[in-house]
Structure 1
Amino acid sequence: MAFGPAAMGYDRAITIFSPDGSLYQVDYAFEAVKKGWTTLGVKTKSGVVLIGEKRKATQLLDIDSIEKVFILDDHVGCSFAGLASDGRVLIDYARSQALQHRLIYDEPINIDYLTKVVSDVKQMYTQHGGVRPFGVALIIGGIDRGKVPKLLMTEPSGQFMPYYAVAIGQGGYTATEFFEKNYREDLNMQDTILLGIRALASTLKPGEKLGPSNIEVGYADVDSGMFRKMSFSERAEILQKL
């Protein structure tokens, strides 16, 4: 990627492709995702798990006020890596779309469709002047009609793809390597949660450890079809099993 004077026009303009086919502002939005706290999702036959890492930017920060896993509707949740303010806007939009669908059709929104709706908004912000791309990637997971687990990730470009396991943020590469070596689709719900936590633990630096205060865990199992977040005591209990 060139950064000299000849590249400055492509660097500044969101709507102009560089000669090598890049949209630099979209590429920079991906960099914002890579700098975010590690976030991951796992899908097995038993259900879906979303796990988000929480870190203190300063010792004065109340870490309990940080939210990394969000309920979008009864059957679906999400987490993100990247700019928290961008994530909040898209999460609020996803919630409003899910609620609107329930009010109009009296049924839960399809998770693939909900992801597409959010991704369409992100894509629009890559081709209009006067705006910038969303510097955030969302992992969306839950249980669709027919007790079908779903896990998708939507990128800053507006592209979205389904996954068995996916990790983004600072530790995304390391966690992905862990999944590639250890993923199994036949895990029960507790083992699915433990797989996700172990993947997150693999990204830690020497001397660091996971505690119930610095992670958030949400999951949806196929039996109930409901997405719920684990409480502090539940997180503490399952961390004892590592």
Structure 2
Amino acid sequence: MAFGFGPQQMGYDRAITVFSPEGKLYQVEYAFEAVKRGWSTIGMKCKEGVLIAVERKKLQNLIDLKHLEKIFVVDDHIMTSFAGLAADGRILVDIAREVALRHRFLYDEPPTVEYVAKVISDVKQAYTQHAGVRPFGVALIFAGVDEFGPQVFMTEPSGQYMSYYAAVIGQNQSQISEYLEGRYNYDMSLDDAIVLALKALMSVGAEEVSPENYEIGIVRADERKVRKLTEEEVAKYLERAKA
């Protein structure tokens, strides 16, 4: 008689603090699956600054996309977006804002992008090794311009974080990353980077595109100030992306 002793039967997927024989934490891996179901999000840096571009989808006809915020200001020079469980993302955004505010209060200087990303990653990591909690089912992209120039960091549910030229999270992550790999150039202008990000999102999105389906935030290297593009500005970049 054959007996099944997969991860479910052995209980490895229920206990967050127990490794499977393969060295896996199944609850953390399940958190990664939640990220894959999130909206496609791109963070990108170039010599002129950084951007975050998010594809917004109307899940219900009664939803007003104009008031559906997906890019959040952390500090004057840092912004973030996430893919995964929205409630988890909202909590971590609030923590990131508090971290940035506390840093300014204590040291009288703005925090670096990496500092904020690392603190959030530390919070995530703590939720992978304590009983009675679960991992955050969300990945965040932090983008901004600090004393080290344009910066983009992505934090994973496991607590790992890395610096990227272009980071992709959410649905169609592999296809969008593959699209960007052959076309990305750090020396491109910020305008060209915005167009490239839109083309990448359009390559896996619906045939009919509208400015309200995309949210874009930028930080120019010479300004170090987060700014969200208006719907009219997004429309102009979409025309270039379609050409």
Root-mean-square deviation (CA), in Å? 1.4
Residues 7, 13 of structure 2: 8 Å contact kept: no
Question: Aligned AA for 2:220?
Answer: D
Q: Secondary structure at the match of 1:182?
A: coil
| Structure 1 residue corresponding to 2:49, chosen from 40, 47, 60 | 47
User: Structure 1: how far apart are the matches of 2:23 and 2:141?
Assistant: 27
Residues 54, 70 of structure 2: 8 Å contact kept: yes
Residues 8, 14 of structure 2: 8 Å contact kept: no
Percent identity between the two aligned chains: 53
Structure 2 unmatched runs, 5+? none
User: Structure 2: how far apart are the matches of 1:127 and 1:196?
Assistant: 36
Structure 1 unmatched runs, 5+? none
Q: Secondary structure at the match of 2:11?
A: helix
Task: Tell me if 1:106 matches 2:115.
Answer: no
User: Structure 2: how far apart are the matches of 1:193 and 1:199?
Assistant: 10
User: Structure 2: how far apart are the matches of 1:3 and 1:63?
Assistant: 46
| Structure 2 residue corresponding to 1:83, chosen from 85, 88, 93 | 85
CA shift for structure 1 position 101: 1.0
CA shift for structure 1 position 106: 1.5
**Could you report, residue by residue, the CA deviation over 1:184-218 in whole angstroms, capped at 9, with x for unpaired residues?**
1111111111111111111114xx23321111100
Question: Aligned AA for 1:137?
Answer: A
Partner of 2:231: 232
Question: Aligned AA for 1:35?
Answer: R
Partner of 2:193: 192
Partner of 2:70: 68
Question: Aligned AA for 2:70?
Answer: K
Partner of 1:92: 94
CA pair 19-193 structure 1, distance change in 2 beyond 3 A: same
CA pair 5-86 structure 1, distance change in 2 beyond 3 A: closer
CA shift for structure 1 position 5: 7.0
Partner of 1:216: 215
**Could you report, residue by residue, the CA deviation over 1:43-71 in whole angstroms, capped at 9, with x for unpaired residues?**
11111110111111111222222111111
Partner of 1:203: 204
Question: Aligned AA for 1:174?
Answer: Q
Partner of 1:12: 14
User: Structure 2: how far apart are the matches of 1:47 and 1:151?
Assistant: 10
TM-score between both structures, scaled by the size of structure 2: 0.94
Q: Secondary structure at the match of 1:11?
A: coil
Q: How many aligned positions are there?
A: 238
CA shift for structure 1 position 3: 7.0
CA pair 161-119 structure 1, distance change in 2 beyond 3 A: same
TM-score between both structures, scaled by the size of structure 1: 0.94
Spell out structure 1 runs of 4+ moving beyond 3 A.
2-8
User: Structure 2: how far apart are the matches of 1:31 and 1:71?
Assistant: 26
Residues 39, 56 of structure 2: 8 Å contact kept: yes
User: Structure 2: how far apart are the matches of 1:209 and 1:180?
Assistant: 25
**Could you report, residue by residue, the CA deviation over 1:133-174 in whole angstroms, capped at 9, with x for unpaired residues?**
00000010100115x000010000000000011111112111
Question: Aligned AA for 1:191?
Answer: D
Residues 121, 155 of structure 2: 8 Å contact kept: yes
Partner of 1:23: 25
User: Structure 1: how far apart are the matches of 2:79 and 2:231?
Assistant: 18
Which has the larger displacement, 136-145 or 7-16?
7-16
User: Structure 1: how far apart are the matches of 2:9 and 2:26?
Assistant: 10
Task: Tell me if 1:154 matches 2:155.
Answer: yes
Residues 7, 18 of structure 1: 8 Å contact kept: no
